Structure 1
Amino acid sequence: MVAVETGRTTVPFRQFVLKMHSRCNLACTYCYIYAGPDRSWRARPRLVPTATLRQSALRIAEHARAHRLREIRIDLHGGEPLLTGPGPLLDQAAALRAALPAGCTAEFGVQTNGTLLTPELIDTLGAAGFRLGLSLDGGTPGLNHRRVDHAGRPSWPAVSRAVRMLADRPGVFAGILSTIDITT
C-alpha cells in the first residue's frame, strides 16, 4: 500500500473502500456508473472473487503493520453490496480481522441503498460489528421517477422502511450518503 506524501510527513491510509458486488438492484437514471456511457461494468464479474478479497485483506494488514496503525476503517460498497447476502460481508470482515497485526482494530461499514434491509439482516450485521450507511437521495415525487428499480417502481417505499428500521437501531446506523440532484 502507498502512503500519501505531504511535504515531509507521510500520512498513511486509514480508510479502505472495497467493492463487493458490481451490480445494483436499482436503475437510477442519474447513476454515474450504471446509467452513464461507459458500459464496461457489464463485462466484470458480479461478485468480487474470493482470492481478490483475501489478497485485499493481506495488503491492508501489511499497510497497517508497516505504519503501526491502531485502527482502520473498511467500507464495503457496490453496486449494492447486500446483493451478496451477509455471508461474503461477514467472511471479508473475518479475513481482515484475522490478518491485522496485534493492536490494530477495524471498524466495518456497509453502504447500502436500503432496499434489501430486513430487521434480521441489520441485527446480523450489527452483531458482527458492522455499521450501515444508507444511500438516501430523497423522497420527492420528482426523484421517485428517477430512483427506481429495474421494473420502473420507485425505490422510496423500501428506502423509507430502511430508514425506520435503522432509526430503531441507532448503534448500527453510520450515516447518509446522498446524490444531490439540482433538478429535483
Structure 2
Amino acid sequence: MVETTVGALLQSVAAAELKETATRLYNAGLLEVGGATGISSDMRVAQTPALQPVSVEKPPFPSTLLIKLTGACNWACTYCYDYDRKRFRESLELGDVAPIIEQMANNHKHLNIIFHGGEPLLRFKELKAILSFTTEVCAERGATARFSIQTNGSFLDEEVISFLQQHSVEVGMSIDGPSELNDKNRIDHLGRGTSVQFEKLFEVFPDFMRSRVGYITTVTSTNVHKLSQVANYLRTLGVVSWKTAIFDMEGRARNASQLIPDLNAYIEFMLESLEDCASGRWFGFKYNNILELLDNVFSVRRSNMCLKFPCGAGREFLVAAADKTMMACDATYHPSFVIGTLGDEIATAQSSANGRALSERQDWLLNEAECASCPWFHYCAGTCMAKAVIQHGTVKAVDDFECSVRKAIFPVVFESLANPTSRLRDYYLSSRRRSPVKAVTA
C-alpha cells in the first residue's frame, strides 16, 4: 500500500498523466488518500476530493437483506439486544419482503438473504415460503441467492435440518461457553439455563452441529476472563468455526452496565488467540475475529461490510424489521437507523433524511476524527457505526472498545506476518481454503 499526495507526484509527471495514473491506482486499492481507497465491496469506482471534483454519490444498490421474521423468542437472554416488548408481538409475511427481494434481484446477480429474529424458526413456514420465492425470482433473472440463518437451535429437528441442508442454508448459533458460564445469561423465560438443550443437539445431530454450524459467543463481564476456556470447550465439542461479539447495551441490556466486559482482559485474549493461530495450535479451528482482520490485510477487497469504508449499512445491506420498518443495520434499533418502511422503494429509503445522514460519517472519519491519521484506518475502517451510536448517540463517533482492540492487535498482526517462523499466514490460507489444511497441533 502506498500513501502519498497529489502534490508530490506533480513534480515528476504531467498533470494529465498524474490524474489518470493516480485514479487507476486509487480505484485498484493501491493508493491511499486520507485513509481511503477506491475499493468497495461491489468493486464500483468511488471518488475522493483528492482525485477529482466531488459529486453527490449515488449509494450502491443493496444485495444483502436481513429479515427479522419475528420479534418473538422462546428464550429470554439477559443481554438480548433485539428485545422490545412491542416488537416481540410483531412478525413478517412473504408479502412484506417480496418487493424488496424483487428489487434486489433486478439489480444484482448474487443475493444474500439472512433469516433472523427473535427466533426465526418460530416462523419456519414463512421462512420456507420466502426462500422458495427468492429462489424462483433469482432463477427467472439468471441470478443466485445465498441463504443463512441465526438461530438459538431449540427448534432444530430432522425436518428443519433436512430443509436447511437441502437448500445449503448456512447456520449460526450462539453459545457463551460451558453451562457455568452460558447459563448465567442465556436463559429461557422461566430463568432456566439453555446449555442442556445446546449439548443435546451434539448428541442427536453431531455431524450437522460440527460441520454445518458456525458459533458466536457474546462477550460480557461473565465470561471475558474465561474466553480461553470457552474456546477449549467448543474445540472439545468438535466445533470448527467461532466468533466473539462484544455485548451491547441495547434491548434487555439497555441498563445492564454491569455486563460490560473488561477491555484489557479481552485484548489479552485476542493477543493470546493470535499467538495460538501463529504457532499452529489453532489450525483447523477458525477464529473468525482474527480471520476477518486478516482478510483486509491479504486482499484489497472488502467482503465484510463491518470492516470496510464506507460502511455497508444502508448501502449494500438492509434490514426488514419485524415491525415492518426498513433499517440500515440490525446492530441497533436507534431511530437514526430507520430509513423507511417495507413498502418504500429501496432507492427512496436510501435518499431519505436518515439515509443521507448516515453517509455523513465517512466525511467525519476522513476529515475530523482521529481515524484520519491512524495508520490502521485502511484495515479497520473506523469501527462499527451502529456501536458508535449506541455508545455516543451519534454516527460521528467510533466504538471506543473496538478501536482500542484494533490498535492493540494490528501491530502484532504485522509483526507476526513479518516473522519467518510465524505460521499466521499459513493459518489464514488454510482457514480460507487457499492452501492444504494443516493438521491441528498440540
Equivalenced residue count is 171
2:46 and 2:86 mapped to 1: Cα distance?
34
Structure-2 residue corresponding to 1:30: 79
Q: Does residue 1:177 correspond to 2:223, yes or no?
A: no
Shift of 1:79: 0.3
CA contact (8 A) 2:65 2:113 kept: yes
Amino acid at match of 2:87: W
Amino acid at match of 1:28: C
2:112 and 2:205 mapped to 1: Cα distance?
20
CA contact (8 A) 2:70 2:92 kept: yes
- Identity of paired residues, percent? 29
1:94-117 CA deviation, whole Å, 9 max, x = no partner? 111222352210011111011221
Amino acid at match of 1:108: F
2:65 and 2:196 mapped to 1: Cα distance?
31
Structure-1 residue corresponding to 2:143: 104
Shift of 1:146: 1.7
Shift of 1:130: 1.9
Structure-2 residue corresponding to 1:40: 86
1:16 and 1:174 mapped to 2: Cα distance?
20
Structure-2 residue corresponding to 1:51: 95
TM-score (ref. length: structure 2): 0.35
What is the root-mean-square deviation in Å for CA atoms of aligned residues? Answer: 2.9
CA contact (8 A) 1:133 1:176 kept: yes
Change (3 A) 1:169 1:121: same
Amino acid at match of 2:135: R
Amino acid at match of 1:134: M
Structure with more strand by fraction: 1
Change (3 A) 1:30 1:171: closer
Amino acid at match of 2:218: T
Counterpart among 65, 72, 90 of residue 16 in structure 1 = 65
Counterpart among 86, 110, 127 of residue 71 in structure 1 = 110
Change (3 A) 1:143 1:108: same
Structure-1 residue corresponding to 2:169: 130
SS of 2:145 mapped into structure 1: strand
SS of 2:208 mapped into structure 1: coil
Shift of 1:6: 4.6
1:51 and 1:18 mapped to 2: Cα distance?
12
1:152 and 1:120 mapped to 2: Cα distance?
28
Higher Rg:
2
Q: Where do 1:149-168 residues align within 5 Å?
A: 149-163=188-202, 167-168=206-207
1:126 and 1:108 mapped to 2: Cα distance?
11
Change (3 A) 1:165 1:132: farther
Q: Does residue 1:145 correspond to 2:184, yes or no?
A: yes
2:114 and 2:205 mapped to 1: Cα distance?
18
SS of 1:158 mapped into structure 2: helix
Structure with more helix by fraction: 2
Structure-2 residue corresponding to 1:93: 131
1:16-44 CA deviation, whole Å, 9 max, x = no partner? 1001121011111111232xxx53324x4
Amino acid at match of 2:85: R
TM-score (ref. length: structure 1): 0.77
1:181 and 1:48 mapped to 2: Cα distance?
31
1:135 and 1:171 mapped to 2: Cα distance?
14
1:92 and 1:154 mapped to 2: Cα distance?
32
Unmatched runs of 5 consecutive residues or more in structure 1: none
1:75 and 1:131 mapped to 2: Cα distance?
9
Shift of 1:124: 2.1
Shift of 1:166: 5.8
Shift of 1:123: 1.2
Structure-2 residue corresponding to 1:116: 155
1:127-166 CA deviation, whole Å, 9 max, x = no partner? 1332221122322413313211112211111122335556
CA contact (8 A) 1:5 1:11 kept: no
Moved over 6 A (4+): none
Structure-1 residue corresponding to 2:102: 61
Unmatched runs of 5 consecutive residues or more in structure 2: 1-41, 48-56, 224-442
